[in-house]
Amino acid sequence: MIYILQQALNALQLGSIYALIALGYTMVYGILTMINFAHGDLFMVGAFFCFLIAVYLKLSFVPTLLLSMLGVASLGVIIERFAYKPLRNAPRVSAIITALGVGLFLENFTLALSPYPQHIPTLINSTTWNLGGVSVSSLQIIIIVLSLALMFILDFIVQRTKVGMAMRAISWDKTIVPLMGVPVNKIISLTFAIGTGLGGAAGVMYGLAYPVIDPYMGIMVGWKAFISAVVGGIGNIRGAMIGGFILGSVEIMVAAFLPSTYRDVVSFALLLILLIFRPYGILGKPHPQKV
C-alpha cells in the first residue's frame, strides 16, 4: 500500500510535467490545427536555459524559472513568426514538416554548442519528509504545486479573460473572427508564447527532478506529451491536463510492477487501444466532415 502511495506521488510528479508540455501541443493545435512537432525541443531548450542561467548568472530558483520561461516563450514567438506564419495558407503537411525541421534544428544546434550531457546544479535544497512510510521531498511538492498553479492560471486565462475568449473564437472559426475586430496575429503569437512558456517551465522542472540534460531529451518526452494531448482529446485544454496525468501514472505503474523496459510498449499499446474505442480522445468531440 505504501509502495503504491509512493508510486502515486511519483506519477503525479511525472504527470504534471507531461501535462504542462501537452498543454503547449494542444493550444497550438486548437488555434492553428497544426501539430507543433518542435515543442518537445523547446522543452529541451527550457532545460538548457535553466542550466545556463543557474551556472553563469547564479540566480536562485524563482528568477531562473521566470527567465527560462521568458526565453523559451520569445523563442517560440520567433519560430512562429519566421517559420510557421509564411505557411499559414500552405498545405497543412508543409507546416508539419517545417515543425519537424525546426525541431531537428534546435536539437542539432544545441548539440553543436554542447556535445556532452550537462548537469544542472541544485537550485532548491530539497528536504525529505517521511509521512507514514511515504517519503515526500520538497522538490516533488514544489513541482506538483507549481504545475497545478500554472494550469489553473492558464485555465483562468482561457475561460475567463477577453484574450482567452479570442483564442477560443479563433479555434472555432478562423474566417469570421478577424472580421469581428480580433487581432488574429497577436492572439496567435500570444498563444505560442503561453504554450511554449509552459513548455519551458516544464523543462526547468524536469531538469531539477532529473538533473542530467542532453540535447535529445526533448524527443521522447515531447512525443509522450503529444500522446497525452491525444489521449485527452487534442485541442482541448482540460483534456491535455487529464491526459498528462493518465500517461504519467501508466508509465510509473508499469515501471513499478513490470520490468521498466516494458514501459514504452505498454503505454503506447494503451494509447492504441484507447484510440480504437475513443478516436477523438477522452474529452475531444468528433467533428464530422461536411460536404
Partner 1 sequence: MTALKKIYQSLITKWQAITEYRFFLPAFFIVGLLFCIVVSCFDLMDQYIQLILMYIGINIILTVSLNLINGYMGEFSVGHAGFMAIGAYIASLLTIGVFPQSSGSFFFPLAVLAGGIGAALIGFLVAIPSFKTRGDYLAIVTLAFGMIVKSIIENIDAIGGPRGLLGMDKLSTLPWVFFWTALSVWIIRNLVYSNFGRGVLSIREDEIASDLMSVNTRQVKVIVFVVSSFFAGIAGGLFAHVLQYINPRMFDIIKSTDILIMVYLGGIGSIAGSILGAVIYTVLLEVLRPLGVWRMVFMPLMLVLLMIYRPRGIMGLRESRLFTPISDLLSMKFHRQKKEADNASS
Q: Name the residues that contact partner 1, by CB under 8 A.
A: 35, 83, 86-87, 90-91, 93-98, 100-105, 108-109, 111-112, 115, 219, 223, 226-227, 230, 234, 259, 261-262, 264-265, 268-269, 271-272, 275-276, 279-280, 286, 289, 291
Q: Which is nearer to partner 1, 61 or 268 (CB)?
A: 268
Rounded Cα gap, residues 97 and 103, in angstroms: 10
Rounded Cα gap, residues 177 and 255, in angstroms: 47
- Closest distance of CB 14 from partner 1, Å: 17
Rounded Cα gap, residues 15 and 111, in angstroms: 27
Q: In which residue are the cell numbers 553563469 written?
A: 56
- Closest distance of CB 206 from partner 1, Å: 19
Q: Which is nearer to partner 1, 179 or 272 (CB)?
A: 272
Helix then strand then coil, in percent of the chain rounded to 5, is 75, 5, 20
Q: Which is nearer to partner 1, 109 or 172 (CB)?
A: 109
- Closest distance of CB 184 from partner 1, Å: 20
Q: Which is nearer to partner 1, 64 or 249 (CB)?
A: 249
Sign of CA dihedral 288, 227, 200, 143: positive
Classify residue 14 as exposed, middle or buried by CB count within 10 Å of its CB (0-12, 13-18, 19+): buried
- Closest distance of CB 187 from partner 1, Å: 22
